[in-house]
Chain A
Amino acid sequence: MSRYLRPAVRLAATASRVQVARPAAPSFFKPASVAGFQKRTYADAPAGTKDYTVRDALNEALAEELEANDKVFVMGEEVAQYNGAYKVTKGLLDRFGDRRVIDTPITEMGFTGLAVGAALSGLHPVCEFMTFNFAMQSIDHIVNSAAKTLYMSGGIQPCNITFRGPNGFAAGVAAQHSQDYSAWYGSVPGLKVVSPWSAEDAKGLLKAAIRDPNPVIVLENELMYGQVFPMSEAAQKDDFVIPFGKAKIERAGSDLTIVTMSRCVGQSLVAAEALKKKYGVEVEVLNLRSIKPLDLDAILKSIKKTNRLMTVESGFPSYGVGAEIVALAVEYGFDFLDAPPQRVTGADVPTPYAQGLEEMAFPTESLIENHAAKLLKLI
C-alpha cells in the first residue's frame, strides 16, 4: 500500500532525491534568529518603539485589563505567590492583591469548572493553565460548559472567559508536555482560539481575548516567552487590541505563501530569507494570529498572488490546522494554485526526549526552507 503514497505528481516530478541535511550544530531550541526581520518589519516604525519580551507583553496585557475592569481576575496554579510558573503573572499579586490574583490547588478540572461558573455569573476570569497539556484534565469544561452554553441557552447565558497558557512543545520535556492543541480547540464551535507569535501579538490578542464576551483560548508558547521583539508606541498603550480573525503578513512575497502561526512564524521568516538569498525567490509569510476564526480571506488573497501554498505548524499532521488550511485552499482557491499545497507539520509521533529524535519530530528552519524549495521546483 505504502508504495502508492507519493507526493502529488506535480511536486514529485521535480522532487530532489537529496537528503535534507540536518544542521551540524543543533540550533533548534535557540530562539529563531528573527532580529533581522524584526528590523525589516519595524524599520519604518515611528520613534518610541521599545523592546519587549513576549512574557512582558503578556504581563502588561494582564495588568492593564486587571486595572481596567474589576470583573477581571486571574486564576491558576502558582500564578500569585510564585509569580507564575513562567513568570507571566509576575508582580500581579503585589499590585492587585489576592482577591484578583488567585493561586489554585492542582485541580484543573475543578478550577476550570469554577472559573467557568464565575464567568456564567458575570465575571471575566482569566484561567491560566501551567501548560495546555494539563488542560486535557479539564477540556470538558472548556468545550461543554464554556463553549456551548451560550448556544444551548438560546443566547441568554454568555460566558466571558479567557483560557491561557503555554501550548506546543518545549525543550526536552517529552511526550506528555509537548502537544499542540490548536487543532483540538480550533474544531469547537463557540470557542475563539488565538496563537500569538510576537510581543505585539501577545499583548494585543490577550487583551482582545479578555474583552471578548465569548470563551477564548490563548495558545502561547513557552519557547517564545523570553524572546525579544520591538513593540510599537501604539502597542505600548493600554487601549491596544488586535482584532480576531485577521492574519498578518509578516513578510510580503510573490512566489510562495507560507501560512503559519506561533513560533513557526519566526522559523518561516528565517527560511524565507534563506530562500531569497539562495534562489532569489520571495516568500510571503502569513502569521495567522487567530486559529478560530481563521482568516480565509487573507489566505486566499495571498495564494491568488503567489499561486503556491505551504503551511507550517508544530502540531501533529493528522486532522491538523495545516490540513484544514490546505482543505480550505483547495475548496475555495483551487484555481489559483499552480502546485499541490503542502504541509510541514510535527511528526505523527509522541514527542521523544532525546534531542536528536526530538528535532526530527518538529519543523526546523532548514526543513521549511528545503520543502519550500522543493515545492518551488528549485531543487
Chain B
Amino acid sequence: MFSRAARLSTRVAAPVRARVAAPRVVIPSIAARRSVTTNAASAQLEKPLPESETEPFQVTLSDESFETYELDPPPYTLNVTKKELKQMYYDMVVVRQMEMAADRLYKEKKIRGFCHLSVGQEAVAVGIEHAIERADDVITSYRCHGFAYMRGGTVRSIIGELLGRRGGIAYGKGGSMHMFTKGFYGGNGIVGAQVAVGAGLAFAHKYTGRKNASIILYGDGASNQGQVFESFNMAKLWNLPALFGCENNKYGMGTSAARSSALTDYYKRGQYIPGLKVNGMDVLAVKAAVAYGKQWTNNDNGPLVLEYVTYRYGGHSMSDPGTTYRTREEIQRMRSTNDPIAGLKQHILEWGVASEEELKNLDKEARAYVNEEVAAAEAMPPPEANQQILFEDIYVKGTEPDFIRGRTPDELFYFKH
C-alpha cells in the first residue's frame, strides 16, 4: 500500500503556488513537481548596470525562488556587484573543474576509497560562502570538497588529500570525507551526525556572545536521522544561531525523497522552527536566503530550517553510475536546463556584466588554475610510511601517552615528551 507509485501520484498533484509565476519557460517533470523553481537563471535586472566593477546594483529574484514556512519571505531583491557575480561564476567553475579532476583521478585509480562529488550542486556551496563571513561556521556531510574550497582550502590541498598526500588538507589522514579548515568543521562520514555537532557550533557562538551563525548542511537522506530532530529541538529551545539546511538533491544514495520521507517538504520539518525553501540551482537565490538567515540569527531569532533544492548529476559516489534509480532523461534535463553555472552565465551575458569573451577567459583561467593545482598535488609526496607520522595527532601534541602500540608487541612507538 505504500508503493512508490501511490506516493508519487500524490506528489504529482503539485501544490498551488501562492505567488504568480513570472513569464518564463516552465520546465516539466521534476521542476513542476516542486513548488520552488530550479531554474538557475530566473533572476532579473531592474535598472541599467553601473559602470564600476564594485558598485552594487539590484537584481530581482524570481518569485519562485523561495517557499516559506511560518516565515515572511526574504526580500526578492539582492544587491550584487559585477565583480562579485564574476567571482561567483569563477568559484562555481573551479569547484566543478575540481570535482571533474577528482572524477578523472578516481577513474585512473589514483584516489582510494569513497569519493562523493557535488557536480550540479555547486550553487549551494558558492552561494552560502558569498553570504557569510569567515568567522561564521560551516559543517557538512561527506560531500564536502566544494565547501572545503569555498572555506579557504586550496584545490591543491583538497586534491592532495584525495590522493593521500602529505600536503593534503588533512595531511593525508582524512581523505575525501574528512576535510577541515578554519571555520569549516568537516567533512563528516556518519550520515546526520554533523547536524548535532553543528548545533554545538551554534551553541558555542551563543555561549561566547559572538554574532555569528553556523551553517549546517545535510542531505534529504540524512534528514530522517533522529538526531536531526533532537538538534532542532535544542536549537529552538536555546535559541541557537543555527541555519540548518537540507541539500535536497532528490536522492539519498539511490532512495528517492518520496521513498524515504513521510514529508518531503524538508523546510517544514522543523515544525516549530520557521522554514525557507530555496532554489538551490540559483546561486543568487542561495546567497539571498543565507544572507537573510544570517540576519535572522543575528537578530536573535534562533534557528531556521532551510531546504536547498538542488540536483546531483553524478551517482551517489564513484561506484554508483546513478542510473538505476532515475532516468538518464531526468539527469539530462537537469543538466541542460537547470545548470547553476549555465544559469549564472546567462545572467552575466544578458545583463551585460561581462562579454562572452570575458567569461571564456574566466573559464580558461579556472581550468588552468585547477590543472596547475592538480599537477602540483600529484607531484606532492605521500606521507612517509613511518611510525612518527602514523601515530602523530591521535592526541594533542605533548599530551600523548608514553607510547602507542603498533601491530605486534615489538611495534611500540615512544613519544618524546
Binding site for B on A (CB under 8 A): 73, 99, 104-105, 107, 109-123, 140-141, 144-145, 149-158, 189-190, 192, 212-214, 244-245, 292-293, 297, 331-332
Contacts and interface: CB of A to CB of B under 8 A. Distances in A.
Given A151-B173, A154-B170, A121 B137 contact: yes
Given A109-B196, A114-B197, A114-B200, A213 B399 contact: yes
A73 B207 CA distance: 10
Contact of B234 (A110, A116, A192): A110
Contacts of A121: 137, 185, 200-201, 203-205
B279 interface: no
B180 A109 contact: no
Nearest to B240: A114
A153 B173 contact: yes
Contact of A113 (B181, B196, B395): B196
Interface in B383-403: 392-397, 399, 401-402
A150 B234 contact: no
8 contacts: A111-B234, A113-B197, A122-B204, A144-B190, A149-B180, A153-B170, A154-B180, A155-B397
A158 B172 CA distance: 17
Contacts of B396: 150, 158, 213-214
Given A190-B395, A332-B409, A153 B186 contact: yes
Contacts of A189: 394
A107 B233 contact: yes
Given A154-B173, A293-B402, 19 more contacts: A105-B233, A105-B237, A109-B196, A110-B199, A111-B230, A113-B195, A113-B231, A114-B199, A117-B185, A118-B200, A119-B200, A121-B137, A121-B185, A144-B193, A149-B186, A153-B170, A154-B174, A190-B394, A292-B401
Contact of B197 (A107, A122, A145, A292): A145
A212 B399 contact: yes
A151 B197 contact: no
Contacts of B178: 152-153
What 4 A-B pairs are tightest by C-beta distance, nearest first? A117-B200, A113-B196, A110-B230, A293-B401
Contacts of B205: 121
A117 B196 contact: yes
A372 to B, nearest CB: 27
A141 B237 CA distance: 21
B401 A245 contact: yes
Interface of B: 137, 139, 168-175, 178, 180-181, 185-186, 188-190, 193, 195-205, 207-208, 226-227, 230-231, 233-234, 237, 392-397, 399, 401-402, 409
B302 to A, nearest CB: 15
A105 B193 CA distance: 18
Nearest to B182: A156
Contact of B399 (A105, A116, A154, A214): A214
A190 to B, nearest CB: 5
B197 A141 contact: yes
Nearest to A125: B200
Given A145-B190, A155-B397, A245-B401, A112 B196 contact: yes
Among B198, B202, B204, the most chain A Cβ lie within 10 Å of the Cβ of B204
A118 B204 contact: yes
A229 to B, nearest CB: 27
Contacts of A149: 180, 186
A115 B208 CA distance: 14
A156 B53 CA distance: 37
Contact of A151 (B189, B201, B393): B393
A291 to B, nearest CB: 12
Contacts of B171: 154-155
Contacts of A118: 200-201, 203-204, 207
Nearest to B216: A117
B103 to A, nearest CB: 23
Among A105, A107, A292, the most chain B Cβ lie within 10 Å of the Cβ of A107
B96 to A, nearest CB: 26
A154 B199 contact: no
B170 A116 contact: no
B230 A107 contact: yes
A113 to B, nearest CB: 2
Nearest to B174: A152
Nearest to B237: A105
Among B185, B186, B230, the most chain A Cβ lie within 10 Å of the Cβ of B230
A189 B186 CA distance: 20
Contacts of A154: 168-174, 180, 393
